[in-house]
Amino acid sequence: MNSRVNQTICKTFVMVLMWHTLFFLAGCWDRREVNDVAIVLSTGIDYYNENEIELSVEIVIPETMSAAIKEGGGAPGSRTSFVESATGETMAAARSKLQQKIARHLFWGHGSATVVGEELAEKGIREHMDFFSRLPEARLRNNVFVCEGMAKDLISSLPHLEKSSSETLTELAQFQIGMDITMSELMQMFASETGGAALPMVTSISSKKDEGKMKDKTQLMLSGTAVFKGDKMIGTLDDSVTRGLLWVRNEIKSATITVDVEEGEGKVTGEMIRSYTKLIPRIENETWKITINCKVEDDVIQNASTLDLRDPKSMRMLERKIEERIEGRIKEAVEEVQQEMRVDIFNFHRSFQRKYTKEWQSAKVKWDEIFPNVEIDYEIDVKILRPGLSTDPPAVPKSEVEAI
């Protein structure tokens, strides 16, 4: 009898407890419907005047986006977004003015790209990036770019293949032919002890107007790297030097290298399969040195020479040629950045910091003086794994195929 009473009391207690937990459940008073938000795809920040910046946002047009999805992606180059702008003394002030122009709540959670105008980049961007780190909705994984000219014009462009400029910028970053820097990584660069940073440069090229639609199509393309000292842009690197920079930073994901083969009277092209770069620091007699050790595996994708790739000596000669070409690209990048820019965007300081912790504590305050004098050694090792299904060049008589 007592057992049954105890069970009844326990059940009653549990039911009362469950009932009371309902009071702690979140309500729907702060709900936000999809129809009430304006989704921001990309952001552009430009210098406006001495006291103000201009904030531009690319916003989805829901009706056209829905139509594009129903039609299987929609026609390339059709407008599925629009750009709205506002000025302010700070990013927060500009955002507030921008919200006044938009009937829906600006939602930043889907933003995939942030573009900074060149003029603003030269004046400093740290305080403007601080806005994104404090905005709860903002994604710190979105890609950051510096553009030639106005960021507003670039995010307003009508791409050839994608439905919006934000999609094109995201694809360019993922393709990894240039630097791929997120907002989170940029903030880490600014917070580093050396203060060096680098961002991909992007530019737009207008093409002929669409027949019948009379709209300018625009091609967006990466155009090198913007180099920062502190939070100010101090110069740019062209595409060739950028490739060398990627080799040093171990961020190269694809590379096609063509070399002249005097012995075979022609050219041979190799394609990188994989690559690994290791920075080996050392301090000898108070001289700071670093070795750039790069191991590369290649395939031969074209043999436009009379070189016989079946011959081991020919293969080794070809590997040396590719090693020389890679070393040349890396040297070009190191010399320009180390001697002209004089800012460490190679992350040499991290290698020294890990290995020589004690020495680094006293050296970090004068790293700007040490970095230009760091001695560089190069160790490039290329292995060709696959010379191709046909080791003999096509359309060349066997009698003319040469071995070394």
Can you spell out the DSSP letters for 134-192? Answer: H-TT--TTSEEEEESS-HHHHHT--BSSSSSHHHHHHHHHHHTSS---BHHHHHHHHHS
At 270, list the tokens: 């190799």
* Distance, CA of 177 to CA of 45 (rounded, Å): 24
* Distance, CA of 196 to CA of 345 (rounded, Å): 5
* Distance, CA of 349 to CA of 343 (rounded, Å): 11
Residue 143 shares a structural domain with residue 161: yes
Contacts of 141 (CB under 8 A, 6+ apart): 182, 183, 184
Q: What is the mean pLDDT of residues 303-312?
A: 86
Residue 154 shares a structural domain with residue 270: no
**pLDDT of 316 higher than 50:** yes
Residue 230 shares a structural domain with residue 281: no
189, 210, 237: which is the final residue of a domain? Answer: 237
Residue 243 shares a structural domain with residue 140: no
Residue 129 shares a structural domain with residue 268: no
Q: Which CATH number goes with the domain that contains 300? A: 3.30.300.210
Given pLDDT bands bounded at 50, 70 and 90, which one contains residue 161? confident
Q: What is the reported pLDDT for 12?
A: 81
By C-alpha distance, which of 330, 303, 335 is closest to 318? 303
Q: What is the mean pLDDT of residues 178-207?
A: 89
- Is 148 contained in some domain? yes
- Is 177 contained in some domain? yes
Sign of CA dihedral 185, 191, 193, 198: positive
- Is 18 contained in some domain? no
In a 3-state reduction of DSSP, which class is residue 131? Answer: helix
Minimum mean pLDDT range among 174-183, 217-226, 242-251, 384-393: 384-393
102 phi and psi, to 5 degrees?
-110, 130
Whole-number mean pLDDT of the chain? 86
Residue 224 shares a structural domain with residue 247: no
- Is 191 contained in some domain? yes
Residue 300 shares a structural domain with residue 218: no
- Is 23 contained in some domain? no
Q: Please state whether beta strands 143-147 and 196-209 pair in parallel, antiparallel, or not at all (unpaired).
A: parallel
Model pLDDT for residues 350-371, shown as the tens digit of each residue: 999 999 999 999 999 999 999 9
Given pLDDT bands bounded at 50, 70 and 90, which one contains residue 70? low
Residue 69 shares a structural domain with residue 136: yes
Residue 286 shares a structural domain with residue 328: yes
Residue 123 shares a structural domain with residue 249: no
- Is 55 contained in some domain? yes
Residue 170 shares a structural domain with residue 251: no
Q: Give the number of domains in the chain.
A: 2
Q: Is the model more confident about 401 or about 329?
A: 329
The HSE-up count of residue 289 (CA atoms within 13 Å, CB side) is: 10
Residue 214 shares a structural domain with residue 280: no
237, 270, 301: which is the final residue of a domain? Answer: 237
Q: How far apart are the first and last CA of the chain?
A: 102
Find how far residue 155's CA is from the centre of its chain: 17
- Is 11 contained in some domain? no
Model pLDDT for residues 10-49, shown as the tens digit of each residue: 878 878 778 777 666 666 666 677 778 899 999 999 999 9
Residue 319, domain extent? 238-404
By C-alpha distance, which of 293, 294, 292 is closest to 374? 292
Distances (CA, A) of 320 to 253, 304, 310, 391: 21, 18, 16, 18
Q: What percent of the chain has pLDDT over 70?
A: 85
Model pLDDT for residues 244-301, shown as the tens digit of each residue: 999 999 999 889 999 998 876 789 999 999 999 999 999 999 899 999 999 999 999 9
Q: What is the mean pLDDT of residues 324-333?
A: 96
213, 237, 261: which is the final residue of a domain? Answer: 237
- Is 19 contained in some domain? no
Beta bridge partners of 402: 307
